[in-house]
Structures are given as C-alpha cells and as structure tokens.
Amino acid sequence: MTAVTYEPRDKPGRWAAPPRPPWEEKPSKAGLAGKGLTLTLAAFAILFPLWIVVVTSLQSKKTIDAAGGLVVIPKSFTLVAYKELLTGGQVQRAALVSVGVTLAGTLFSMTVSVLCAYGLSRAGSLGHRWLLMLLLATMFFGAGLIPTYLLVQALGLTDSYLALILPSAVSVFNILVLRAFFMGISPELIDSARIDGAGDWRILWQIVMPLSRAVLAVISLFYAVGYWSAWFNASIYLTDQDMMPLQNVMIQLVQKQERPVGLATQINTGQLSPLAVQMAVMVMALLPVAVLSPFVQRHFKKGMLTGAVKG
Amino acid sequence: MSHSTVPRSRAGAKAGRRSPDGGPPDGAAGRAARRRARRSAGRDAGKLGFRLRFGRDRTLILMTLPAIALVLLFNYIPVLGNIVAFQDYDPYLSDNGFVAMFQSPWTGLENFQRIFADSGFWHALQNTFVLFFLQLVLYFPIPVGLALLINSVVRPRVRAVAQAVMYLPHFFSWVLVVTVFQQIFGGAGIIAQTLRQHGHQGIDLMTDPGIFKFLVTAEGVWKDAGWGIIVFLAALSSVSPDLYEAAAMDGAGRWRRMWHITLPALRPVIALLLVLRVGDALTVGFEQLLLQRDSVGPGASEVLDTYVWWNGIRNQDFGYAAAAGLIKGVVGLGLVLTANKVAHLMGEQGVYKK
C-alpha cells in the first residue's frame, strides 16, 4: 500500500501567514499595527524620494512649472527629457562610457577573482597558505591615497580607462567569498572528475562554475555596482571631460546644477525643463541597479556569509 | 599528465590545519607546541617532494597569479611610496614619478612637524571622531532593530518585499544618494518647495554646517542600514526553534524569549561588527564627504581622508599629504589590532583567530 500523504486542498495564498506553532501566543493588535507602521514608514522613507525623482523626470515643462519644481502627483507624461539626453551629447556619451567600463571591468574582475579563488580552494595545494596570507593582510592596511595616485601616474594610466578598472579590479573580500563557496563543493565530485582525466581548468569550467551560479551572480553584482557607482578615480585620473562616466556628469549636472552641454538652447527657449533633465539623469543612474539587484537578492545571504566568516 | 593524478593528500590537508585534535591549551607553551605540530605536518606533506607537488599544483598557482600580481601592484607597492612622506617630493623632477622619488630631497620628519602645527589637521581629526561617534550611536543600533522587526514578520512575501526595498539603497552610488537627499532637503528640495508654497521661508539643510554631521549620518542610515540587517538575519535564522518552544513551555513570554534567546544569538555578530567599526574608526565616509565639501565648506566636512585629498591632489603637496595619510594608516592599523585584541579578551572571535 502506498502511504497517503495529506495535502491541503486549498493552498494558502502566497501572502498568507504560515501556520503558527501551537505554543506561540497570538500577536496583539497593537503589536501588529506597530510593526506594520514601522515597516511602512521605512519603505516610504526609501521609496518616496525615488518616486519624486522618477515622476518629475517624466513630466512636461508645464506641469513642472505649475508645481513650482518637483512633482509628487503625476499630471502628464512625456519622455522628452530622455529623448533629448539620448540623442547624442554629453549624457549619452557618459552613459555609454559607464556601461562599457562596467561590463569590461566586471568581466575582468570576475575572471581574475574566480581563477584566484579556485587556485586557493584546493586543500593541501602547494603554497596556498602563503598566497592566502598575502591577500588577507591587505585587509589590515591601506597604502593610502597619495602613494596610489603617484603609482597610477607613474604607470602612465592617467587619462586612460584602465585607471578606472585596474586599481579596483581585485576585491580580496570577494575572492574569499568565492573561495569559501568553492571549498563547499563536495570533494568527491572533483576527485572523480580528476580520475576521469579532467585537469584543473576543466574542473573549474565544467564542474565548479556551473555549481556556483548563485555566488557568481552575487559577486558579479557587487563588482558591477562598484564600477557603475565609481566616480572618484575618474575625478582624479581623467582630465578629459569627454571621457567622464555618468556619475561624474551627474555631479556636474545635478549636484552642481550646471547646464548640460548641447541642450542649452532647448532649455533657454523654454522647450525643456532643466529639472526634468536632471531627474532623468538620476533615473539613468539608478535604473540598472534597481532593476538588477532584486533578481540577485535571494542569493545575498548565502553569498555574503559563506565567505566572510570562514576566512 | 602524470602529475595531475598525484592526490592532494587528505592527510596533508588535515595536518596543515592548526591543532587537529583540539590542540594544547592557549598561551606561549601552547603556541610553541602548535608550531612544532605544524612543522612536522609540513614534513609529512613534504614527503611528496617539492618538485612533485609543484608539478601537481602549478596550474592552481598559475591561476592565482593575475590576482596576486594586481594585489602586489596596487596594494603592496604603493606602501613603499609612502617614503615621499619623508621627502619634499616634486613629481616634476623627472618624467617618471618613480625616478622623481629618488631625486627629491629628504626632509626627515619636517612634513610631520608641519602637520602637527596645522590647526586644520586637528580640526579634521576632531570632525572624524565626532562623525565616528555619531555614526556609532545613531546608526549602529538601527540594523539590529530592523532585523528583529523583519525576523518577527511571518508572512514570507511581506518579508521578501520588505527586504528588497531595504536592500535597494545600498546599491546606489554616493552621488545618487547625495543628489536624492538634495531633492528632499536641499534649497530646491520638496520640503523647501512645500514651505514656500505655504508662505513660509524655504530651508536648505544641505548647506547648513550646524547640522551637517547629522545629515551625513542620516545619508549613511538611508543608504546602508537596510543592508546591515543581512548578517543579523542570518544569525537569527540559525537559532533553533526548539529553544523558543522550550522557553514558551516554561512560561516565557514574547519579550523574555527575545531577551534570553534572540539577543544572545546576536551577541557574537554585534561584537564582531563593533570590532570592525572601531578598527575602521578613522574612515567615516570619504566619497560622501568629498562630494559635499564644496557645498557646506571644509569647516564642517573636513575629515582626515578629505584633508589628505585636499593637500595632495588639489594642492599637489604630495609629501605633506602622504605624511597625513601615513599617520591615518598607522593609527588605523593600531586600532584594528587593538580592537581584535579586545574582542579576543571578551571571548569573541574578532576578525582573525589567535
């Protein structure tokens, strides 16, 4: 006879609470209300500013003028600010630079980090303890801004996109997270592949990496966000304004309120609201991050914790 | 290849780890015994022979080289560049900055004397400490509270959405965070705009030196407090539900369970994060402060990191700025090591093991 398993006929809704253990007291009304209120307030504090930015970027000049600036309740819809920004000019170029640096940098960082993490992840391999120490020690000291700046200059990297990638290409923390994850892969799997004749390259590519998709996604996101958000290195290593990435252009246009090069006529003749343009630049900076990070969210805990503690 | 079939011996791996069977007790004698054990373990592993092990592991070593090279180049070599702190460094003495380093005149401790005589340095130091304490008091408890709150939410969907929203600002750049705050608290922000529409005077909290340090702390909370809950949530999820049930059977109510089970479970994590924070006390948000330095002025915003930037990058006084950076680096290293020592004394693990 087959065992009969009990399955509830009506599956609880996805928002419903799971059954409460019998020993737990029922929550008080006040407690529930307090929790709900706190969570709502926190979400409001985070989302309301973003709402204003996004809404204002999509409003016509008339709506913005009527509201006297930022718009909270949308009254019109137009993509004119984005259209103007993305048909050539300073912001479009900066966005392309940022996308390029982010893609190239992330690919480079991931390649270097995954190789290093795997190279250090096989227990008992020659010298891995020394190499690990070499990496770990960097977490205790920083060389300092000035010597690093002088080094990048002496290497001739100024006014090159390499200056935005190479100095920050390796994050020891990220390597440690990857390494801890690789070490968690069952050694039997790797040994059997070795017996079947696979070398280390092949084991990494065909066994370790496919099994580590979660952590690879998290670390890629960390690196990508790092490159996308960076502005300081560009501000000290690049002198050519045409090479500046999006964040630096955002400092000029939004924080310092300069007029975007090339759009001055549209703004001065009153076709385009400068505020909508500023908000559109901000949306361009936040959109990729806001869209990508929730997808990787479920892996955060795993990715963050396997590495950090084990060392 | 014959090399690849040499096993990376389990025995070697196990012996390589410190004190395999509990090890002798702590203290100097214990440490010496452990060192002996490690050395003999090394000999065991050495039975395979260096040549053989190298042949077997050379692919692995090769794989680490790109990262190691980058770390050596950008983390270790610049440490040597700190010699300019003892020079009147002039980068224009030669086409190459390295060569200029050897042609610049040595000045001994003159840069340091100038720094200690500069009231701007002491002011930056003071700002650094004030910001550190503000962040410690106003920022640090928030992720703990939020984690307890999220942990008490039982509906999985509500939990996931709340987490997604709270993690989001962590991934924003500082430029974005500062400009977002500008839209709320700035002179043309939504608060000032609403005030003006109701016949009041507008306010600009972004350029007010009096409250700037609170503003900076608030920006930090907005950006990272949500992300900070992740480690606490992990610690909370590892608490066995049996503990709660047993406590409830014994008549412990909601709050007593939190006090006697939940909070003790968080204690090691809180201790570790405190150690890390104190060890990093001199770093209080370089990018964030640099971005707002112009709008609020150096009086309220200058910290050690921006002081180095101003003197070195802006004023090209490299030797002087490197000396200031070196002071920060050395004091910072001392702080990390001290904080770890304290953690060990408290019986917590700290950043590294003894």
pLDDT of residue B47: 65
ipTM attached to this prediction:
0.89
Q: Which residues are registered as beta bridge partners of B106?
A: B87
CA–centroid distance for B126 within its chain = 20
**Is the CB of B165 less than 8 angstroms away from the CB of A144?**
no
Give the residue extent of every domain in chain A. 101-271+278-310
- pLDDT at B77 > cutoff 80: yes
Q: Encoding tokens for residue B305?
A: 């990191």
Distance CA A258, CA A248 (A): 12
Distance CA B206, CA B177 (A): 12
CATH number of the A101-271+278-310 domain: 1.10.3720.10
- pLDDT at B43 > cutoff 60: no
At residue B97 the predicted structure's pLDDT band, cuts being 50, 70 and 90, is: confident
A22 touches chain B (CB under 8 A): no
| Out of A17, A135, A148, closest to residue B71 by CB | A135
What average pLDDT does range A191-208 have in this prediction? 92
Distance CA A88, CA A104 (A): 22
Q: Which residue has the higher pLDDT, B328 or B23?
A: B328
Q: Encoding tokens for residue A150?
A: 């002088």
What average pLDDT does range A80-91 have in this prediction? 88
Distance CA A219, CA A209 (A): 13
Distance CA B209, CA B213 (A): 8
| Out of B82, B152, B168, closest to residue A293 by CB | B168
Which among A44, A52, A31, A39 is positioned nearest to A282, based on CA atoms? Answer: A52
- pLDDT at A123 > cutoff 70: yes
**Is the CB of B249 less than 8 angstroms away from the CB of A282?**
no
pLDDT of residue B268: 85
Give the residue extent of every domain in chain B. 3-83, 110-345
What average pLDDT does range A233-237 have in this prediction? 96
- pLDDT at B225 > cutoff 90: yes
pLDDT of residue B12: 41
Distance CA B8, CA B4 (A): 9
**Is the CB of B155 less than 8 angstroms away from the CB of A119?**
no
pLDDT of residue B102: 84
- Give, in order, the Cα–Cα distances in Å from A148 to each of A35, A166, A227, A283, B167: 48, 12, 18, 33, 32
Per the CB < 8 A criterion, the answer to whether B276 and A114 are in contact is no
**Helix A29-57 × helix A274-296 angle, to 10°:** 130
- pLDDT at B39 > cutoff 60: no
A9 touches chain B (CB under 8 A): no
Q: Give the residue from B2, B52, B53, B70 with the most A CB atoms within 10 Å of its CB, the best one to mutate.
A: B70
| Out of B175, B308, B321, closest to residue A251 by CB | B175
Does the structural domain B110-345 have CATH classification 1.25.40.10?
no
Judging contacts by C-beta atoms under 8 Å, the chain A residues touching residue B10 are 123-124
B149 touches chain A (CB under 8 A): yes
pLDDT in tens, A124-166: 888 889 999 999 999 888 888 999 999 999 999 999 999 999 9
Q: Which residues are registered as beta bridge partners of B87?
A: B106
Taking CA–CA distances from B288, the nearest residue in chain A reads A232
**Range of weakest confidence among B20-34, B92-106, B320-334:** B20-34
> Across the A/B interface, how many CB contacts are shorter than 8 Å?
305
Q: Encoding tokens for residue A272?
A: 């385009």
| Out of A46, A138, A149, closest to residue B168 by CB | A46
B30 touches chain A (CB under 8 A): no
Distance CA B29, CA B181 (A): 57
Per the CB < 8 A criterion, the answer to whether B216 and B285 are in contact is yes
Per the CB < 8 A criterion, the answer to whether A68 and B197 are in contact is yes
pLDDT of residue B202: 84
pLDDT of residue B263: 92
pLDDT in tens, A244-301: 999 999 999 999 888 777 776 677 677 788 899 999 999 999 999 999 888 888 777 6
**Is the CB of A46 less than 8 angstroms away from the CB of B166?**
yes
At residue A233 the predicted structure's pLDDT band, cuts being 50, 70 and 90, is: very high
Residue type, B290: L
pLDDT in tens, B184-224: 999 889 999 999 999 888 889 999 999 999 999 999 999 99
Q: Encoding tokens for residue B257?
A: 């369970």
- pLDDT at B34 > cutoff 50: yes
**Is the CB of B183 less than 8 angstroms away from the CB of A70?**
yes
| Out of A125, A141, A195, closest to residue B329 by CB | A141
- pLDDT at B110 > cutoff 70: yes
- pLDDT at A9 > cutoff 90: no
Tokens 């050539």 sit on residue = A88
pLDDT of residue A226: 96
CA–centroid distance for B39 within its chain = 34
**Is the CB of A255 less than 8 angstroms away from the CB of B84?**
no
At residue B160 the predicted structure's pLDDT band, cuts being 50, 70 and 90, is: confident
**Is the CB of B222 less than 8 angstroms away from the CB of A46?**
yes
- pLDDT at A6 > cutoff 80: no
